[in-house]
């Protein structure tokens, strides 16, 4: 069994003071890779804190990530933040293609692919989000949507690059709704994603696939017990230290 990865997505939340309190309570968990994807202005704060926890060593402690990245490397792109800048601040991960970016900021499949490729080129691991809306699920289109979204990323990155990405299955209807996908639904979709990867010539077994959408302390253990689930992408519960740590411990198989 590969090491589980639990990623907190803080979204548009935090302040220097609130982060300090939250970070103090986030501690490494044996056998689990823990990461937090924070708003850009707080990267330096979290990077400094993470260095302190690990005695300046890299690789241990809590990994740092961002929530989006520019497709561009540098230049006249006002407001954008480039992947090399994220690497400069010690980021290991960056989320791309979150459904909120797709629906609220008009990011399309091809742009998500270009962002994932830009991240990889800068040495970051893109966490590529994919997932269907409720209407698409009810219409039997879930896997078609996921295949289209991931296919666009594969087109840009190529098989070799795609293998370096983490996939996060986040059904849109489960995000922030309090209604996580059931264990059976997650098992089925993760299996389909691996089969889809196989069909594209990218060995599905080798891909890390997270589940996201209303992961809570109460349902994490059952979700993470699935062999096809390599960890979780956690929104709301990652802002509550006790809940986030309980989710991380659930990923370790501990209590």
Which part of the chain contacts ligand 13P (CB under 6 A), choosing from 21-29, 53-61, 70-78, 229-237?
A: 229-237
235 touches ligand 13P (CB under 6 A): yes
**Measuring CA to CA, which residue among 70, 97, 100 is closest to residue 210?**
97
**Measuring CA to CA, which residue among 43, 26, 46, 27 is closest to residue 240?**
26
Catalytic residue among 33, 100, 136, 170: 170
Is 170 among the residues known to form the active site? yes
Catalytic residue among 33, 98, 100, 107: 98
214 touches ligand 13P (CB under 6 A): yes
Q: Select the residue interacting with ligand 13P from 38, 94, 124, 234 (CB under 6 A).
A: 234
Report the alpha-carbon distance of residue 139 to residue 213 in Å, rounded: 20
Is 98 among the residues known to form the active site? yes
Neighbours of 221 (CB within 10 A): 16
145 touches ligand 13P (CB under 6 A): no
Q: Select the residue interacting with ligand 13P from 126, 161, 213, 228 (CB under 6 A).
A: 213
What tokens appear for 196 in the block?
Answer: 């889809």
List binders of ligand 13P among 85-124 (CB under 6 A). 98
Residues 6+ apart with CB under 8 A from 48: none
**Measuring CA to CA, which residue among 212, 132, 199, 133 is closest to residue 166?**
212
Residues at the contact surface with ligand 13P, assessed by CB under 6 A? 9, 98, 170, 175-176, 212-215, 233-237
Catalytic residues: 98, 170
């Amino acid at each position: 069994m590969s090491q589980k990865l639990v990623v907190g997505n803080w979204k548009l939340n935090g302040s220097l003071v609130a982060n300090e309190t939250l970070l103090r309570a986030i501690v490494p968990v044996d056998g689990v890779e823990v990461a937090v994807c924070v708003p850009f202005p707080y990267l330096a704060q979290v990077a400094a804190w993470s260095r302190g926890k690990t005695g300046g060593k890299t690789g241990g402690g809590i990994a740092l990530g961002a929530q989006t990245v520019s497709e561009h490397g540098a230049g006249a792109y006002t407001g954008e933040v480039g992947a090399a800048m994220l690497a400069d601040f010690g980021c290991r991960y960056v989320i791309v293609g979150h459904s909120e970016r797709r629906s609220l900021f008009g990011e399309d499949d091809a742009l998500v692919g270009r962002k994932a490729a830009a991240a990889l080129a800068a040495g970051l691991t893109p966490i590529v989000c994919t997932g269907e809306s409720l209407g698409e699920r009810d219409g039997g289109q879930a896997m078609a949507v996921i295949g289209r979204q991931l296919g666009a990323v594969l087109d840009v990155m190529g098989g070799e690059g795609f293998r370096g990405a983490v996939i996060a299955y986040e059904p849109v209807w489960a995000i922030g709704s309090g209604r996580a996908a059931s264990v059976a639904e997650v098992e089925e979709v993760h299996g389909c994603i691996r089969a889809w990867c196989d069909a594209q010539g990218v060995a599905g077994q080798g891909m890390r696939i997270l589940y996201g959408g209303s992961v809570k302390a109460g349902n994490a253990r059952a979700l993470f017990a699935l062999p096809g689930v390599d960890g979780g992408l956690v929104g709301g519960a990652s802002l509550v230290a006790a809940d986030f740590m309980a989710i991380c411990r659930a990923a370790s198989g501990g209590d």
